[in-house]
Structure 1
Amino acid sequence: MPSHLNLEELVQDSRVHRRIYLEQEIFDLEMEHIFEANWVFVGHESEVAAAGDYKTVPIGTQPAIMTRDENGDIHLLMNRCMHRGSTICQEHRGNASTFRCWYHGWTYSNKGDLIGVPYADGYGASFDRRRFSLIKAARVEKYRGLVFASLNPEVAPLTDYLANARHYIDLFMELSPDGEVEARAGVHKYGYDGNWKFQMENGVDGYHPNFVHQAFFEAQGKGFGRKVMQLFTGNSEFESKDLGNGHSILDMAPRHRSAKGPVSNLLRGATSQASSDAYSSSMIRRYGEARTEEIFAASNVNLAIFPNLLIIGVQLRMTIPVSAKRTDVHLLPTTLKGVPDEINVARLRAHESFYGSAGGGAPDDVEMFNRCSDGLRVKGAEWLELSRGIERERTGGDGVVVGHITDETPQRAFYRRWKSLMCNVVAESQQPKTLRIARTI
């Protein structure tokens, strides 16, 4: 590590230095010590539901392919021909049992095995195809349908990594009476000229909605719009939480709530009474009244899974770092298994109205990211302040740190994890580097 790059000084308890958003050198270290060494969200299993299904997805900045083979197993194959380096899959998603490199025709199975080499006699009798299988992610694990991959074979088990966040993932999945969601309704995509950390910070920022999204809320009328704005005021009863391992949440579950109200609030009157009643009844049959109340009450959350997943509204949002000053974002709206179609249609329409690329909310946030990127070029104002609520945080018995919903508790959680991973650079830079990926042999 270059001596001028003191990461420990750039991230402090209540503020971060502007350099962490601007410098490509820091971004490159993030890719190595965060995205290539830890669990990274790569998709939902329903995106590759059938044998042969695949989708392309990056791990950090490295291109990869998530596949499902004929045995039903999911693989993360690095999208790089082992001959001369070309990517072997260009489509975002599809179904194929093989991938053929169009440069020289080398062909691979959807498990990553090299199964075809044109004019193979030119390589001689000693040529061993097993040596040229595609590189694979060292670890692939699922939790409630969410697929995570890691290039580090020594990464901790996924359930340990998710830790306290599992409770909220469970609640999100159990909005379905079958306990499962699907992410096959399509993808919203947008990008912005700014650092990836802006998106992860913003997804669990309860301080900004009443200002950035004021016009949208006011357009919803005095009833719903003002009700939403009350979630994010200084008098709100709701909380932000540091869940550990860099994960955090804006928890908008009321402390006291009747079991009869949540369905109508969740769907905002967009469905018929018959569909709402059928949905509610199926939930109670599956989970019982108490658990159903808990699930519905906690349905309105913004959950951040470090480093690149946000669960907001009905969506799984993947943050994709491109460079220090460029980020892509993919939004996967989910539907619920086992509910009337009208319920899922209402979920998708509500998602589109605010979170879609042309919705009332997403363009607001992107504009703020662009403005922050412009503003950070100013020299002399070196620090970004993240101290809001630091003196009123409290720690629960489970180790969860709790703040007010408008406090910067989630941002501090993110940077504690960021710092713990990135500051290992100091020690590791003096050691020989090892390849953190597995090969199929």
Structure 2
Amino acid sequence: MSQPLQYRPLRRSTLDVSELVQDGRVHSAVFTDRDIYEQELDRIFHGSWLYIGHTSEVPKKGDFRTRQMGKQPVVMIRGTDGQVRVLLNRCRHRGAVVCEKEAGNTKHLRCWYHGWVYDSTGRLTQVPAVEAYGEDFTLEKMSLASPPMVEEYRGFIFASLSANVVPLRDHLGKAAEMMDLLIDASPVGEIRVSAGVHKTVYRGNWKLVGMDGYHVHYVHASVIAAWNRNSDTGIGATHRGDPFDDHSASRTRDLGHGHAMLDLTTHRMSHYEKFTEMLAGVTGGTEYVQAMHAKHGEKARLLISLAGDPHVGFFPNLQLINNQIRIMNPLGPDETEVLMFPVLFEGVSSELNEMRLRQHESFYGPAGSGSPDDGEIFERVQKGLHAQVEPWVEISRGMNREKTLDDGTVEGLITDEVPQRGQFREWLNLMTGDAK
């Protein structure tokens, strides 16, 4: 059996980060300073919940995917017992990685340095010339380490390198309901993450990837124009009218714990009839709509209209946007890797899933109309953030009109910086709290 990892932070920043986040503004140093970045790894990426992957990525025994938890390489693997585990990708002997490929199927994880071999549950099974070790040495004690906290929510696997975190369901809070909107858009309540991944690396800070409804008219102006010319561009992308206009019914929401969303629900539902008319022209589309209504009743209108796009970010490393699951991996204060996994629905026709893929590619692929523009603007922002004169960054838009609802969530208009303020509240909480 794998052994839980007892993580301890390696360093402390000498900077007083509590002074760098104020009402409606943050200091540029939170995006550029190396010491702050190292503290983020300790306090956030090594000290809170991170999304690792989806169980459908490892459907068979021995299937694995390699991922990152801050600086720590890990393996998500389905063992011979059928259980999905998260194991530290590090030999217990001299520290070499034991899984070098990004994905595959294996019966054993082997360290190529000295030949130690582990099975798919993380158990050490073979040590060359084991008699050279003392009597106290046992294979059982040297199994691969695992994060002390690993939990699943409806197929989504999360882990933490700190044992001192709240239960995952408490961490997700109201945002879990948004995750349900993706999963329940399948008529059988299951999704599949098997269509590969788009990867990009941009020269900018990881916190720039956020729920921002304000930039759409400017960074994606050509996309807005195309939407207005032709609304029926694929599943989940029916846009009559402008959902990113403050006169629309769209809203920004701070869901707590740094989780935030762009809520396009009312806009999407107002075009339900036109959207289902388009679906009827796709093989399996009518059957999909019928199956959803049979299972969910009136709620089916919401689930069909959103098409699995809650447009929500889970702090710090997961976003569910359009037709994808997105992971952000910080590589440095000014470098970030973004992994984008298209999501397919179980229980629908191949034609409907193909439509989802084509729509994903049209905006987020390497030749897409949107995602490359985001990477470009993030790099331009990062250059400007290094300026030493007037170093404060404004995130105050809409502070004077945001509303705190009865459930404790905060609501603003679609261009308001409610998500940014919510994310930085959680950032500050984790960065200034007691070390875990």
Same fold (TM over 0.5): yes
C-alpha contact 1:195 1:324 (8 A) present in aligned 2: yes
2:359 to 350, 353, 369: 350
Aligned mates of 2:268, 2:372 — CA distance in 1: 34
Runs of 4+ aligned structure 1 residues displaced above 3 Å come to 1-4, 225-229, 255-260, 262-265, 297-301
Match of 1:432 in 2: none
Distance 1:332 1:94 in 2: 16
1:219 CA displacement? 4.3
8 Å CA contact 1:139, 1:151 repeated in 2:
yes
Contact 1:284–1:292, Cα closer than 8 Å, also in 2: yes
Instruction: Give yes or no for the alignment of 1:307 onto 2:316.
Output: yes
Is 1:243 equivalent to 2:250 in the alignment?
no
Q: Which residue of 2 aligns with 1:29?
A: 39
- Alpha-carbon distance in structure 2 between the residues aligned to 1:105 and 1:276: 53
Matched residue type, 1:293: R
Instruction: Tell whether 2:401 aligns with 1:392.
Output: yes
The equivalent residue for 1:327 is 336
What is the DSSP-based 3-state SS (H/G/I as helix, E as strand, rest coil) of the residue aligned with 1:301?
coil
Aligned pair 1:137/2:147, yes or no? yes
Which whole-Å CA distance do the structure 1 matches of 2:240 and 2:313 have between them?
Answer: 20
- Are 1:240 and 1:406, in contact at CA under 8 Å, matched by a contact in 2? yes
Q: 2:404, 2:411 within 8 Å by CA — same for their partners in 1? A: yes
Q: Secondary structure at the match of 1:254?
A: helix
Relative to structure 2, which stretch is displaced further, 290-299 or 36-45? 290-299
Secondary structure, aligned partner of 2:399: coil
Q: Is the 8 A contact 1:258 1:293 kept in 2?
A: no
Q: Does 1:170 align with 2:180?
A: yes
CA contact (8 A) 1:238 1:252 kept: yes
Distance 2:216 2:253 in 1: 17
Amino acid at match of 1:111: T
Q: CA deviation at 1:82?
A: 1.1
2:86 aligned with 1:76, yes or no? yes
Post-superposition Cα deviations, 1:198-232, rounded to whole Å, max 9, x if no partner, equal: 11x2xx10000111011233345623299467111
Q: Which residue of 1 aligns with 2:369?
A: 360
Q: Tell me, what secondary structure is at the counterpart of 2:361? A: helix
Q: Do the aligned partners of residues 377 and 56 (structure 1) sit closer, same or farther apart at CA in structure 2, a change above 3 Å counting?
A: same
| Residue identity matched to 1:239 | R
* Cα gap change, 1:228 to 1:132, in 2 (>3 Å): farther
Contact 1:217 1:228 in 2 (8 A): no
Worse-matched range after superposition: 226-235 or 85-94: 226-235
Aligned to 1:293: 301
Partner SS for 1:388: coil
Cα distance change of structure 1 residues 38 and 256 upon mapping to structure 2, 3 Å threshold: closer
Residue 89 in structure 1 maps to residue 96 in structure 2: no
- The one of 55, 59, 64 aligned to 1:54: 64
Which amino acid in 2 is paired with 1:232?
F
Q: 5 Å matches for 1:149-168?
A: 149-168=159-178
Alignment of 1:209-248 (within 5 A): 209-219=216-226, 222-224=229-231, 227=239, 230-248=242-260
Aligned residues: 420
- Is the Cα–Cα contact under 8 Å of residues 35 and 59 in structure 1 kept in the other structure? yes
Query: In the superposition, relative to structure 1, how do residues 384 and 271 fare at CA in structure 2: closer, same or farther (>3 Å)?
Result: farther
Residue in structure 2 matching 1:208, options 193, 212, 215: 215
8 Å CA contact 1:254–1:297 kept in 2: the answer is no
Q: Distance in 2 between matches of 1:82 and 1:257?
A: 53
Change in Cα spacing, 1:273 to 1:332, as seen in structure 2 (3 Å) is closer
Letter in 1 for 2:136: S
The answer on 1:98 being equivalent to 2:105 is no
Tell me if structure 1 keeps the 8 A contact 2:198–2:340: yes
Aligned residue for 1:261, secondary structure, equals helix
Quick one: structure 1 residues 326 and 255, their matched pair in 2 at CA, closer, same or farther if it must change by over 3 Å? closer
2:6 equivalent in structure 1 = none
Which runs of 5 or more residues in structure 1 are unaligned?
429-435, 437-441
In structure 2, relative to structure 1, the CA distance for the partners of 1:122 and 1:355 (3 Å cut) is same
**Aligned counterpart, 1:338:** 347
Q: Is the 8 A contact 2:109 2:120 kept in 1?
A: yes
Partners of 2:18 and 2:48 in 1: CA distance: 20
Give 3-state SS (helix, strand or coil) of 2:207's partner.
helix
Partners of 1:21 and 1:129 in 2: CA distance: 44
Q: Within 1, Cα distance between the matches of 2:230 and 2:303?
A: 24
Distance across 1 between alignment mates of 2:219 and 2:268: 29
CA 1:63–1:273 in structure 2 vs 1: closer, same or farther (change >3 Å)?
closer
Alignment partners' CA distance in 2, 1:394 and 1:28: 35
Select the residue among 377, 384, 393 that pairs with 2:386: 377
What one-letter code is carried by the residue in structure 2 that aligns with 1:363? P
Q: Distance in 1 between matches of 2:271 and 2:397?
A: 34
Helix, strand or coil: the match of 2:56?
Answer: helix
Amino acid at match of 1:292: A
Deviation at 1:259, TM superposition (A): 8.7
Aligned to 2:74: 64
Which structure 2 segments of 5+ residues have no match? 1-10
- Give the structure-2-normalised TM-score: 0.92
TM-score computed with the length of structure 1 as normaliser: 0.91
Alignment partner of 1:280: what SS?
A: helix
Cα deviations across residues 301-326 of structure 1 (Å, max 9, x unaligned)? 31000110010001000001111111
- Whether the 8 Å contact between 1:393 and 1:402 is mirrored in structure 2 is yes
- RMSD between aligned residues: 2.1
